[in-house]
Amino acid sequence: MTTMFSSLRLDTDRLSPSGAAVWGVIALLLLLSFAVQPGLFVDQFIGGLVYGVSLILIALGLSIILGLLGIVNFAHGALFMLGAYFTYQLMSVWGVSFWVALVVAPTLVGLFGVLIERLVLQWLYDETPITGLLATFGVAMMIQEATRATWGGTPLSVQTPTVLTMGADLVVTTVARIRLFSVAVAVVAILGVYLLIERTDFGLSVRAGVLDREMAGFLGIDMPKRFVAMFFLGSFIAGLGGVLRGTAVGMDPMMGQQFIIITFVVVVVGGIGSLFGSVVSGILIGEAVYLTPLILTSLAKVSGVEALAIPGIGGLVPYLVMIVVLMVRPRGLFGQEGFLE
Amino acid sequence: MSRADAADDGGLAARLRDADLGALTVPLGIVAIAVLLRPVVSHPLLLGYAQIANSMLIWMLVVASFNILLGYTGLLSFGHAMFLGIGTYSVAIGVAKLDVAFLLAAPLGILLATAIAYLVARMIVQKGEIYFAMLTMAFAKSVHFIANYDPGGLTGGTTGIAGGALPGWIETVRGFKYVVVAGWQLDWYYAIAIVFTVAMLLMWQLVRSPFGRTLVAIRENQKLARAMGIDVRRYKVWAFTFSAAFAALAGVLLEVNDQGATLSALSIPTSGDVILMSVLGGANYFFGPLAGAFVWLFAEDYLTEFHTLALPLSEYPLVTFEVSGLLTYWQFLLGLLFVIAVLVSPREGIWGLLRNGLGSLYGRLRGDAE
């Protein structure tokens, strides 16, 4: 039960009657909204998926660093944002192709993350979580202001390569290929992290560090080196998420702050310390954000009660999900006992 | 030097210093801040701008109320702005939309914030610290959503409430507000100062009462506190509730000061600013948050007004730098200062450094004299 990915069994066979009722209602509502607006449903479903995987890309790094070092890295959203802005710098200012930026920008972000680790976080390993949270909060603020100073406060965007701007036909609707491409890249990245953590000796030593950093050190594992490597990896993935998001949607200096807060929600809902939990809850929250408004508008259409279609409810949904999940399962969906408590 | 030793010395001065002045330092300090803040900041060598003293006192109150949680109980809340906002919105809605008297709307607003705080605290106060922080953020976000959603046209959505939100007894003359009641006229700054003084004195009494000492015990070692028979959950709930009540009181002042309610008063970044001010100033000390709020607002105003840096003095410039472009990004400098403060010592802050610095200086001077 102690590995990061495989403590993943929800007790589905012992589902309580009330739990079953809740899932039943949700399934019914989804079916209903699909029947009412099939094109929009698929559209929103893919939107939720794209949003969900970018949340996962940030959450993975956050979760690894939290598990390994016990530091709540508030600056992680700023790294995500830097991924997007580096893409802008590479593509729009220096005229590099998207495919090069897709590799170079995350690498730069990874190096930047290592810089932060060396300059700030390495001094905080034995402090309380609050201290780490506060210090990285300051770092995030600095990066945000530096970004504003360098690239300006107005939203920017880059020219997506033509291969990815075309639509892909999905019977009931067409979606831009860049969105499907984002999902594909993210899935590859998530699988890569999974294989690295679960199937390699390096991953084994990292998992040992998560369980007991001190003991792993005694056994001859060079933990500081692992920290730097994992920090590079976490920042790289966040940067990758930034590249994809920046290409598909664009970038602004507030995106880091907005995403880090939702990502915290994802990590907490998934259960702190569980990478699998982050993946599940990322998809869950991404879909909830996009499908809840759709369900409500469908309900409003069917029942004729206009008041049901609350505008902007999508922004609130992650928090409601979190409140409910934490009330029912205090450690999140896949959280382990005694982790950071 | 303990009190008994001082009494043995027999000197009247020593006895006075150790017995009475010790207990009076903080109340005198509070009064001194309330009286001196405006003359000091409006001096031309500093900001030269009197209005900012109003905001400073109000924000000091907000951050001090927050520090009951962070500094004294060790609870990190990301939703403190929620209570500030409930205070501002209650008064604004009461005065501008429902035509309720200010003197009714304000206590109701504070009561509402207190009740919400109590209920929220009962639900979440026993969660681990990260869970607690996230849940406070979630509740704050929900309140923000409601205000933004504009139910029944009450909260005004993204624009907030601006028109007609001033109570009738406030008169504005050339940008300065006055409280006018039955022919009496009081500068609005002094009205704030009175509320500030009373509220700060109450908070001081709160933190040095057995209740406050118990909070410190919980902060220092929660398990030990529980083992000693302290009902940790109950104390945390009441700490959260009191803290919210004072924040809502500050919100009431903010509403009159800003002539309305804005959505930003409720937002998560505002909660973040409150945390930053508190830690920057020094969460360990009663006056730390005040120092933090002062430095924050001072820096914001001073640095953004600044266009050229002239050394050594602007009257006799030898070297001048064009810095207006850079100082627009004053939050970068503040972030740097903040990171350094947390790395050096997370609970000391500016006030702690100042205090220790002055303490050692005083000790050295006295050592030289003897």
**What is the per-residue pLDDT across A19-51, written as a single tens digit (0 to 9) for each?**
788 888 888 888 888 887 777 888 888 888 889
Backbone angles phi, psi at A69, to 5 degrees: -115, -10
pLDDT at residue B304, as a whole number: 66
Judged by a CB distance cut-off of 8 A, whether residue B220 touches chain A is no
Q: Do A316 and B145 lie within an 8 Å CB cutoff? A: yes
What is the interface size between A and B, counted as CB pairs within 8 Å?
106
B241 vs B118, B202, B213, B234, CA distance in Å? Answer: 5, 14, 17, 11
Model confidence at A224: pLDDT above 60: yes
Question: Which chain A residues have a beta carbon less than 8 Å from that of B328?
Answer: 149
Query: With 0-12 CB in 10 A as exposed, 13-18 as middle and 19+ as buried, what is A57?
Result: buried
**Residue A202 at interface with chain B, using a CB cutoff of 8 Å:** no
Q: How confident is the model at residue B370 (pLDDT cuts 50, 70, 90)?
A: very low
Q: Note the pLDDT of residue A20.
A: 80
CA atoms within 13 A on the CB side of A244: 27
Give chain A positions within 8 Å (CB) of B131: 268, 326, 330
Rounded mean pLDDT of chain B?
82
At A337, is the pLDDT very low, low, confident or very high (cuts 50, 70, 90)?
Answer: low
Nearest Cβ partner for B329 among A128, A145, A323? A145
Per-chain mean pLDDT for chain A = 83
Closest-CA residue of A relative to B346 is A131
Residue B312 has pLDDT above 70, yes or no: no
Nearest Cα residue to B155 out of B88, B81, B59 = B88
**A341 to B128: CB separation less than 8 angstroms, yes or no:** yes
Non-local (6+) Cβ contacts of B35 within 8 A are B193
Which residue in B130, B139, B272 is closest to A129 by CB distance? B130
Say whether pLDDT at A8 is over 70: no
pLDDT of residue B130: 80
- Grade residue B150 by pLDDT with cuts at 50, 70 and 90: confident
- Using left for φ > 0, alpha for ψ between -120 and 50, and beta otherwise, residue B182 falls in left
**How buried is residue B277: exposed, middle or buried, by Cβ count under 10 Å (0-12/13-18/19+)?**
buried
pLDDT at B320 over 60: no
Whether ipTM exceeds 0.95: no
List, for residues A58-107, the tens digit of each pLDDT value.
998 888 888 777 788 888 999 999 999 999 998 888 888 888 888 999 99
Q: Which residues of B126-161 are buried (b: 16+ CB within 10 A; e: fewer)?
A: ebbbbbbbbbbbbbbbbbbbebbeeeeebbbeeebb
The answer to whether the CB atoms of A340 and B130 lie below 8 A apart is: yes
pLDDT tens-digit profile of A237-279?
Answer: 999 999 998 888 888 888 888 888 889 889 889 887 788 888 9
Residue B108 has a pLDDT of 93
Nearest C-alpha of chain B: how many angstroms from A119?
10
Which of A231, A228, A223, A218 lies closest to A205, judged by CA? A223
Tens of pLDDT, residue by residue over A133-181, are 888 888 998 999 889 888 888 888 888 777 777 777 666 677 778 888 8
Tokens of A319: 């928090």
**In A274-310, which positions are buried (b, 16+ CB within 10 angstroms) versus exposed (e)?**
bbbbbbbbbbbbbbbbbbbbbbbbbbebeeeeeebbe
Residues of A in contact with B69 (CB under 8 A): none
Quick one: pLDDT at residue B8? Answer: 47
pLDDT at A15: 64
Pairing, β B308-312 against β B317-322: antiparallel
CA B19, B25, B27, B32 dihedral sign is: positive
CA distances from A228 to A115, A131, B80, B111, B272 (A): 9, 20, 35, 50, 28
Residue labelled with tokens 């002062």: B294
**Cβ pair B138:A148 closer than 8 A:** no
pLDDT classification of A7: cutoffs 50, 70, 90: very low
Q: Where are the extended beta strands (E) located within A92-239?
A: 167-170, 173-176
Q: Is residue A77 within 8 Å of A140, Cβ to Cβ?
A: yes
Among A160-174, A319-333, B303-317, the least confident range: B303-317
Give the mean pLDDT of B39-66: 83
pLDDT digits (tens, 9 = 90+) for B222-275: 899 999 999 999 999 999 999 999 999 999 999 988 888 888 888 888 998 899
pLDDT (tens digit per residue) in B179-236: 777 777 888 888 899 999 999 999 999 998 999 999 999 999 889 999 999 999 999 9
pLDDT at B244: 95
